[in-house]
Amino acid sequence: MRYFLSFISALFYTLPLPLLAQINWNAPESIDAKRSRISTASGQAVVVTANPLASDAALKTLEKGGNAMDAVISAQTVLAVVEPQSSGLGGGSFLLYWDQAKQSLYALDGRETASAQVKENMWRTSNGTAVPWLQATKSLSAIGVPGTTALLWEGHQQFGSLPWEANFQSSIHLAKEGFIPSPRFLRSISLANRLGIDHSPSFKSLYLPNGSLPKQKIPFRNQKLASTLSRLAKGGANEFYRGKVANELIENLQLQQNRHITVNTITNEDLASYKVQWRTPICRKYKSWKICSFPPPSGGGVAVLQALGIFELLSNKNGTQANTNRWHLLSESLRYADADRSHWIGDPIDWPVPLKGLLEDDYIEQRANTIQPQTTKFRPLPGKPKGSELLDLASQPRTAGGGTTHLVVVDVEGNLASYTSSVETVFGSRYLSGGMVLNNQLTDFSFLSTNSGKPIANRIKPKKRPMSSMSPVIVFSGDRPVLAVGSPGGWLIPHYITNALIGALDLQLSPKEIVAKKLLSVEPNYTVLEKSSAWLKGNIHQELESLGHQIKYSSFSSGLAIIKKHNGKWHGAADPRREGKAVGLQ
Ligand code: GLU
């Protein structure tokens, strides 16, 4: 995970400076600016994923009588084949799942977990500075115990309706017979190449055979992944964590380890002891809705709920008639929420996160009251929520990423899935095993465990999960789910989602209008506006400047996937900044 220059320079991180100059980490994938068609669909059941082949596979599953959980498995296994730069079985995921029959919402945490072998100082050099981020992403130490397969398995045991193996048919077929590489797939391979692939001969031989990109019009096959998927289809999660797939993975890592003997990485014991955590979703009232998202180790869910809470209070105080005022308040709300998440959030296995305090009405009001009608230009400080009295922590720098995907599904029964999945950066660590991309999620930990002698909540510890920005959301009106949304985008994920929620709920926009709208993001001292002016009318920047905002412009590679209920029907749209597709079943 990489740290933003502005923040780092104030801190103590060593960065790959030449790379920073070339890659915009708000939009690492260099989006196709000319792509203007937005994929939409509506019906009784709707699927939106980041890739047409994954959406089609999920739809097929629904047509066969599968439910939302089966559709998630079909889509995720296909994404592992066709969008391996963003997610796969060697990564981790968060699933927010509404079970219509039980009228209950569940949060399954399949986040990567640090090996029992990790050392607290593994991202620290002998002279006390942080290991350069780029170097860390390529290290075997960056690989966390993958959680995605376990999540899919447990989700299927609890909610699935088709046989487990039926949900692997499309992915096995595509891996074996091949698929036509999409422009984004090819761009991502080039980006991985720029990040460095010399450490991974298996990556080179699969994705850059003889040093060239796969041919544009020739089916791309991944035979090793086809056999891994076939094994998992037959043997389930046990095969991944204790069977042949596990043994092959450890052997592959050991082969690499022989070349880097001082490096610790995951073991058979780590794989065998991996557990999905069933967490309690976090929810807050926003106007007449209830917004639910993912709890820690996600910091994104807390940020979305806090930002909306602050935004609502400020809007009531100031009125949001004027467009400028709305964007001003959104920017301030996000900056305050960010200050809290970089300070208080980590895996609760290590520190007691003051979660209740962070979401309490009194605390949100206190935060809102510190915000001035004109932005102060000061970097907001973290607050002091109830429950934090005994914690004396330091903040960590913000992070960004490029290897994540989001999908949403609603089935005809009314079950709903909002699912974010990641390998961390583009193609994760670029190490492969059994054709699967292995994550580099342990670079999501703070690289240094203390600052000025104070511990950082997101410090590295054995068996701990790194803080994430992934924040799948489901919105309720009364007891009924009416909307599901999520996005990739590293640290900016909750910014994108808050933009989308304000669009959907306050402005009553359709999913298509939401994904077509320019996005607003923040840095500690800046408001960051999306470049291309084709999408949003008005010249809000000048008005924001007059309110004291320092403005920056950037592209964003969000990947919003959203479904919204309107007049008894579900409507979905995929973010045109990526290659997603929405499909529906009448
Ligand atoms: N690994 C990041 C996280 O969990 C997400 C990276 C991305 O969105 O690309 O927060």
Say how many Å lie between the CA of residue 317 and the centre of ligand 1.
34
CB of 422 sitting under 6 A from ligand 1: yes
Query: How much of the chain, in percent, has pLDDT values that exceed 90?
Result: 80
* Mean pLDDT, all residues of the chain: 91
Confidence (pLDDT) at 12: 30
Helix (H, G, I), strand (E, B) or coil at 375: coil
pLDDT (mean) for 98-116: 98
Confidence (pLDDT) at 534: 55
Confidence (pLDDT) at 156: 98
Q: Which one, of 336, 557, 379, 542, lies nearest residue 6 by Cα? A: 379
Among 257-271, 277-291, 350-364, 523-537, name the one with the lowest average pLDDT. 523-537
Q: Is the pLDDT of residue 10 over 70?
A: no
CB of 470 sitting under 6 A from ligand 1: yes
Which of 302, 422, 438 for mutating ligand 1's site (highest number of atoms within 8 Å of CB)? 422
Say how many Å lie between the CA of residue 452 and the centre of ligand 1.
27
> Cβ(515)–Cβ(573) under 8 Å?
yes
Distance CA(308)–CA(371), nearest Å, equals 14
Q: Is the pLDDT of residue 103 over 80?
A: yes
The closest-lying atom of ligand 1 relative to the alpha carbon of residue 444 is: 1
Greater confidence (14 vs 397) lies with 397
Among 82-86, 364-368, 371-375, 554-558, name the one with the lowest average pLDDT. 371-375
Residue-wise pLDDT for 385-395, tens only, equals 999 999 999 99
Among 182-191, 200-209, 314-323, 375-384, name the one with the lowest average pLDDT. 314-323
Residue-wise DSSP of 239-255: HHHHSHHHHHHHHHHHH
Which of 294, 338, 469 for mutating ligand 1's site (highest number of atoms within 8 Å of CB)? 469
Q: Is the pLDDT of residue 177 over 90?
A: yes
Instruction: Determine the length of the chain.
Output: 586
Confidence (pLDDT) at 128: 87
Residue 482's Cβ-side half-sphere holds a number of Cα atoms within 13 Å equal to 18
Distance CA(502)–CA(506), nearest Å, equals 5
Say how many Å lie between the CA of residue 424 and the centre of ligand 1.
5
Confidence (pLDDT) at 6: 34
Among 254-258, 496-500, 501-505, name the one with the lowest average pLDDT. 254-258
CB of 402 sitting under 6 A from ligand 1: yes
Confidence (pLDDT) at 18: 44
Residue keyed to tokens 């082949």: 53
CB of 503 sitting under 6 A from ligand 1: no
At 480, the pLDDT band (50, 70, 90 cuts) reads very high
Confidence (pLDDT) at 3: 41
Out of 6-20, 324-338, 408-422, the most confident range is: 408-422
Confidence (pLDDT) at 532: 66
Confidence (pLDDT) at 413: 98
Distance CA(87)–CA(99), nearest Å, equals 24
Token pair of 165 as six digits: 């193996």
Which of 493, 495, 496, 521 for mutating ligand 1's site (highest number of atoms within 8 Å of CB)? 493
Distance CA(368)–CA(526), nearest Å, equals 18
Distance CA(287)–CA(505), nearest Å, equals 9
The closest-lying atom of ligand 1 relative to the alpha carbon of residue 400 is: 6
Cα 37 to the center of its chain, rounded Å? 24
Instruction: Give the H or E element holding residue 188.
Output: helix 183-195
CB of 26 sitting under 6 A from ligand 1: no
Query: How much of the chain, in percent, has pLDDT values that exceed 70?
Result: 90
The closest-lying atom of ligand 1 relative to the alpha carbon of residue 424 is: 1
The closest-lying atom of ligand 1 relative to the alpha carbon of residue 402 is: 9
> Cβ(509)–Cβ(20) under 8 Å?
no
Confidence (pLDDT) at 20: 44
Confidence (pLDDT) at 196: 94
Q: Is the pLDDT of residue 110 over 90?
A: yes
CB of 404 sitting under 6 A from ligand 1: yes
The closest-lying atom of ligand 1 relative to the alpha carbon of residue 425 is: 9
Q: Is the pLDDT of residue 585 over 60?
A: yes
CB of 420 sitting under 6 A from ligand 1: no
404 noted as active-site residue: yes
CB of 428 sitting under 6 A from ligand 1: no
Confidence (pLDDT) at 4: 39
Complete domains list, the chain, with CATH? 2-278+398-519+557-585 (3.60.20.40), 300-344+352-392+521-554 (1.10.246.130)
Among 15-24, 178-187, 427-436, name the one with the lowest average pLDDT. 15-24
Say how many Å lie between the CA of residue 491 and the centre of ligand 1.
7
Quick check: bond before 297 cis, omega within 30?
yes
Q: Is the pLDDT of residue 536 over 70?
A: no
Residue-wise pLDDT for 76-99, tens only, equals 999 999 999 999 999 999 999 999
Distance CA(23)–CA(233), nearest Å, equals 38
Among 60-64, 147-151, 539-543, name the one with the lowest average pLDDT. 539-543
Name the closest-CA residue to atom 4, ligand 1: 468
pLDDT (mean) for 285-303: 98
Q: Name the pTM for this structure.
A: 0.95
Confidence (pLDDT) at 21: 45
The closest-lying atom of ligand 1 relative to the alpha carbon of residue 491 is: 10
Say how many Å lie between the CA of residue 318 and the centre of ligand 1.
34
Q: Is the pLDDT of residue 418 over 50?
A: yes
Say how many Å lie between the CA of residue 1 and the centre of ligand 1.
8
pLDDT (mean) for 4-33: 49
At 205, the pLDDT band (50, 70, 90 cuts) reads very high
Say how many Å lie between the CA of residue 43 and the centre of ligand 1.
31
Q: Is the pLDDT of residue 321 over 90?
A: no
pLDDT (mean) for 511-519: 94
Say how many Å lie between the CA of residue 566 and the centre of ligand 1.
31
pLDDT (mean) for 226-231: 98
Name the closest-CA residue to atom 3, ligand 1: 468
Q: Which of 265, 320, 375, 404 is catalytic?
A: 404
